Every structure is written in structure tokens, then in C-alpha cells.
Amino acid sequence: MTSSFIQYGGLYGSEYGEEFERIFDPRNSPTHRRIPADQLIVYNSTKRVQQLREMNPLTNQISIDRHTVVVSIDGACRGNGTSLARAAWGVYFGPQSTYNSNGTLNPTFPQTSTRAEIEALSQALEIIYKDISKDFSLQRYHIITDSSYLVQTFSERIQTWIKNGGKNSKGKKAAHFDILKKINDRFNDMTYGDNGGMEFKFWQVPREENKEADVLANEALDKEFGADEMAENAKPRVLSISLNHQSFFDSMYGSLLTKIRTGSVFQRVEDGESAKRVLLEGPPPHAILITDEALTLRENAPVWEAVLKYIKQGGTAVVMGNFSSFVEPLSIKPFFAKAGLEWEQGSYHRTTLVLNPQAVGIHLASKLLPEYSQKAVFLKNAKTSDAWYVTNENAVTESLAFQAKDAHVTGESPVLLASVGKGKLGYIGDVNGEEGSEAVVIAMCGL
């Protein structure tokens, strides 16, 4: 197939300046949008690939587009964000197709769902290049994926990253840039090189419509890691959402992390797409730790909404760690308002707090310190029934530099756990990770 189109980034542009993205959406295609979704793809057993059906807009006659190939790709990861994480990929060309393939990620690769999806794309292109491209009648490839990351990368971002020497808009090296550039080079070669003539478009679908590739990826995990996974799945899983993860976090909270890992599987995600995917995959986590201020930012609102959905369905999430140190004060009120809470920033100082047994109950009270000193960001408009620790009439500010002042403020607390829907949302405003706060985190998570 010859083409007058030149590529820049993930866009194609004609010699006359017309542009269109490397994206396929049957709803926007005059030859596909009137065909029922469940009849749009058919399997060609002779060529061993799926192909698209199309409708002639003039005659309304439906036929198979013999030049197309539809391939589904997906990645899967168990224990995403933990030292025990294992990831795999799946590529699906059709039922019983000999081109179908799957496998686990090379152990030297990052074991994440994102890296697994990238590998699935890479493996699909390898199969097309080595085997399917020999059939010159197959020219237009539609890649089904539920990964918005892949679609955005190859339709919007990749050329900018290449132009900037692999750096993203923040001036940092784009994640997975080396393998993404190799894939982009392969796209260019297969489109415009000596062995070119092919056209590639991404077809993004909801996760539930990409089951075949997902099944292949999980079959690879079951085959290689099934027994180990069964033993690990017996432990409760704690998910840490750390989208603005700081390098010092693990050392500052090392003691707490050790305690959590002793009795549970600790899983950390550091990007929004992974966070949303983990919340949608398999059984929900036993508890979620929100370790920084990232979810207060507008661009991460979808992740916060996913967490709130998890809480309202019976889950527990605890806002702690670096959140109180880095959050913009004015962002606190709208952040918690989305959970139906009236919490907003109150005092900020060090003082000694006493346990409120009425809020925690007799069972948990025995596991917590009766009182301890902490430097913390307090929240006001706190209900007494939600405040695990409170000040009393003897509380004063504790500082080596300033004179002690009265620190007793009714309706304020830096340690809260409130009911939201069927679940719980907690807050720990301690900025230093005191030992007493470690016990609070463990208790709130139900470990």
C-alpha cells in the first residue's frame, strides 16, 4: 500500500496539512458505525486472524474488509507495586489462532501492569512483522487495548519525548522511554520503511471488552506462578497510593512499612493509571494508604473518585504520611468534601494528645498509646465520635523556640476515622511519623 502521508508524533499529516490521530473508533467511521458491535469483528480461519466487517454507505451492503487485521493486547500484574509483583502479557488474534501468544515478563523488567501492556504491544508487532506481514493483502491493523496510556503515548506524546531527548513535560525522563522509542521505530519501519505499506491504529475499548487478551496474560501467570500466588493471596493486601512519592518516604516510615509487610502484602502504585487499574482488578485491597497530597490535584480527581467508590462499598482508606506536610491548605476542605465530610485545616503545632476511648472502642484502645506527643496538622469540624486522639484542658504547644500556649481546641483532631458510605476514611496529620501514629495506622487498617 502506498501512502502520501508523513508521520510526526502519533499523528499522520497529509502533504496538504490535514491531520488525524492514529486512533480507530467505529462510532466515528461511516463504514462501521451502523454495524452492531457484536457483529463488527469476524474470524478468518484461513488467515488465522480477526477482520473487520464494513458497510457500504451507499448500498448498505455488509462485507468483510479483507485488508484488515484486528489484534487484542493486554497485560496483567499480580502484586503490582510490591517486591513480589509478577507481570505477564497476552496477544489475541482470534479463537484458536496459532498467532495467539502470551508470556511472563523478563524478570529484569519492571513488574508492573503498564510495562506488561507495553510488552504485549511489542510482542504483537513482532508477530505481525515476522509472520503475518508476509501476506501482502493484510495492510490495515487495528490494535484493541483498554490502556489509555498506550493510546495517548503513541497518538500524542511519543514524538515530543523523542524531540526532547526522552524527557517529558516536567523535564524528567519519560517512563519506559527506551522500549517505547523502539516500538515507535518499528511502527515507522512497518509503515514507511522498505518493508512498509502497513497502517496501524489503536482501538481503545473498556476493560470488560478486552477479556480474551487478559485471559491469555493471566494464563501465563497461572502457569508459572500459580502455587506461589495462592500462598501470597492468603494475606490481606494493603495498597499504597503514592502518586507524588518522595525518595525519603521509605526511610522515614521504614518501621511502619516493616510492620505492615509482616502481616500483609504491601502494594504501591505511583501513577494514576496503575492506581485505577489496581482498584478495578480482582478482589479489593484490605486497606488503602494515601501517602501524599497528589489526590487533591485536579489531574488526579479520577483516582480519588475511584478510591471513594471503594470506600463507599465497604473499604477503608487512610490519609497519612506526607499528605499533611505537602498539601495546599486550601485544598483540604474540597478534598474531604467529596467524601461528604466537613473537615478543613485547623491548628498546626506539637502537643500531647490523649486517646478517646469512646471513638476507638475497648478492643482497639488496648493496642494504642493512651497519650503521645506529635507535631501535626489538625482538622477542625471533627466529630468527637470520629476523633481517635484529642487534646484536653492541660494541652499546651510544645516547642524549644517558643513559649507554651494553650493548645486545647474543641472540635479539632489530627487523628480521625469517619464513616463514609459502608466504609471508613481516616486521617493522620502527624508530620514526623511518631511511634504512636504507627500503631494508629495499623489499627485503622485492621491489621
Residue 382's nearest CA partner among 360, 409, 355 is: 409
Q: 303-316: buried (b, 16+ CB within 10 Å) or exposed (e) per residue?
A: bbebbbebbeeebb
Q: Tell me, what CATH number does 285's domain have?
A: 3.40.50.880
Number of structural domains found in the chain: 2
* Residue 219 domain flag: no
CA quadruple 153, 154, 156, 157: dihedral, nearest 10: 50
By DSSP bridging, strand 68-78 and strand 86-92 are antiparallel
Same structural domain, 53 and 139: yes
Same structural domain, 89 and 200: yes
pLDDT at 92: 98
* Residue 221 domain flag: no
3-state secondary structure of 295: helix
**Amino acid, res. 100:** N
Same structural domain, 259 and 382: yes
Same structural domain, 193 and 111: yes
Indicate the residue among 214, 248, 281 that finishes a domain.
Answer: 214
Same structural domain, 28 and 152: yes
Indicate the residue among 182, 214, 246 that finishes a domain.
Answer: 214
Same structural domain, 188 and 277: no
Same structural domain, 207 and 286: no
Same structural domain, 210 and 270: no
Q: Cell for 323?
A: 499528605
* Residue 253 domain flag: yes
Same structural domain, 239 and 280: yes
Q: Cell for 9?
A: 508524533
Residue 264's nearest CA partner among 291, 295, 288, 290 is: 288
Residue 41's nearest CA partner among 111, 93, 81, 106 is: 93
Give rounded-to-5 percent helix, strand, coil for the chain. Answer: 35, 25, 35
pLDDT at 6: 29
Same structural domain, 194 and 334: no
Strand partners, 208: none
| Spatial contact of 390 and 413, defined as CB atoms under 8 Å apart | yes
* Residue 230 domain flag: no
State the number of CA atoms in the 13 A half-sphere of 187 facing the CB. Answer: 28
* Residue 271 domain flag: yes
Q: Tell me which residue range forms the domain holding 207.
A: 6-214
pTM above 0.75, yes or no: no
pLDDT at 282: 60
pLDDT along the chain (447 residues), means of 10: 31 33 86 89 96 91 94 90 82 96 93 94 96 91 96 92 92 93 94 83 92 95 71 76 93 94 89 88 86 97 96 96 97 98 97 95 90 97 97 91 90 97 97 96 94
CA distance 37 to 6: 32
390 to each of 243, 275, 372, how far by Cα in Å?
30, 33, 11
Q: Tell me, what CATH number does 148's domain have?
A: 3.30.420.10
Q: What's the distance, CA 375 to chain centroid?
A: 32
* Residue 68 domain flag: yes
* Residue 226 domain flag: no
Same structural domain, 300 and 341: yes
Residue 133's nearest CA partner among 55, 71, 78 is: 71
Q: Cell for 177?
A: 522511554
CA distance 348 to 13: 56
CA distance 192 to 7: 9
pLDDT at 228: 56
Residue 428's nearest CA partner among 369, 398, 368, 387 is: 387
Same structural domain, 159 and 248: no
* Residue 422 domain flag: yes
